Amino acid sequence: MTLNNNKTVVVAMSGGVDSSVAAALLKEQGYNLIGITMKTWGFDDFPVKDSGCCSLEAIYNARNVSDKLGIPHYTFDFTEKFNETVIENFISEYMNGQTPNPCVLCNKSIKWGVLLDRAKELGADYIATGHYAKVKNSQGRYFVSNSSDVKKDQTYALWQVSQYALGKTLFPLGDYTKPEIRKMAESMGLKTANEPDSQEICFVPNNDYRELLEIRIPELKRRVDKGEVIYKNKKIGEHKGFPYYTIGQRRGLNLALGKPVYVSRIDAENNKVYVDDESGLYNRGFIAREVNFMKYGSFEKPVQSKVKVRYKDIGSAATINQIDKDTVEVIFDIPKKSITPGQSAVFYEGDDVIGGGIIREILE
């Protein structure tokens, strides 16, 4: 067993099984631990369920596990910061015709932002989470790499974490699978052993972003004008407001074409929603901005990579060309379906994340 009695780790404890076992594994390795649960939204803000991330039940679960492990536990209120960064960005992106990934921004700004700052104030050497990922170092640069559990791997959502933050990070679950983690929790007698996995964005009521928009913007239905739905350069109907639509959407279009069509493009500036046959959802590439380079400091020449454009994407072969310090062009070997502005694009070299960016412009 590695002895780490002189090292202190702040463990982000969500009240779920993953972070609980992460804490238990670090305790076995001899670290001094401080359990912290982050409160990121107000209990009266949204009509959400009483269970899940940030709920009172989650806080009680995290405290129960901390007591069992014999470590101190604190709950920190990051509601204001979370609201002004993650939630406001989420809303503004949809209001600009984009489809955001709030978990990516939360990881950068909250977990590896204000939580890391708080850990430093507490004198901690590292922070740790229950993410299924590995953090590695090569030639002086830190990067994340795929976990041993392909189905649960969470590297896609970690591409924005900075070099400094990765150097202060431990991922205890990187070498395990989810079934192994549940068995460990059961053998340790942890209350969270059978907690269900979180499947939804924590602050989105009923897993429906449209409901959140209407809660935060009460005048939304009056503020957003109806507009044209375009198919093959012809108007075929009206939409109820472009923020209510996402790329690839088929249901709820209310179009009588006698065949299925899908949202292929959202033109927020001109208030138009374009639809097409499934074949029209494929594009050759995109421009990504706000790029963060991980394994390498930059791409001085074209790079061959596997690129994911959404969380559940298995990735596709592509060539990446760096345009400037925070912008790249990505061209797929074979046209890719449903590339969505606002979503994250993550670039892989084998199992390693070499960088990522936000999809901003589609290349037809």
Residues marked active site are found at 106, 202
- Among residues 260, 279, 254, 264, the alpha carbon closest in space to that of 230 is found at 264
- Among residues 350, 305, 311, the alpha carbon closest in space to that of 330 is found at 305
User: Starting at the edge strand that comes first in sequence, how are the strands of the sheet with 32-39 ordered?
Assistant: 73-77, 32-39, 8-12, 126-128, 169-170
3 state DSSP class of 234: strand
Maximum Cα–Cα distance for the chain, whole Å? Answer: 69
Cα–Cα distance between 55 and 43 in angstroms, integer?
7
3 state DSSP class of 164: helix
Instruction: Please spell the DSSP secondary structure of 107-141, one letter per residue.
Output: IIIIIIIIHHHHHHHTT-SEEE---S-EEEEETTE
Cα–Cα distance between 49 and 9 in angstroms, integer?
31
Cα–Cα distance between 191 and 312 in angstroms, integer?
29
Residue 226 per-residue DSSP state: P
Cβ atoms of residues 339 and 286 within 8 Å: yes
Cβ atoms of residues 195 and 16 within 8 Å: yes
Beta strands at 282-293 and 303-308: parallel, antiparallel or unpaired: unpaired
CA torsion through residues 200, 202, 206, 207, sign: negative
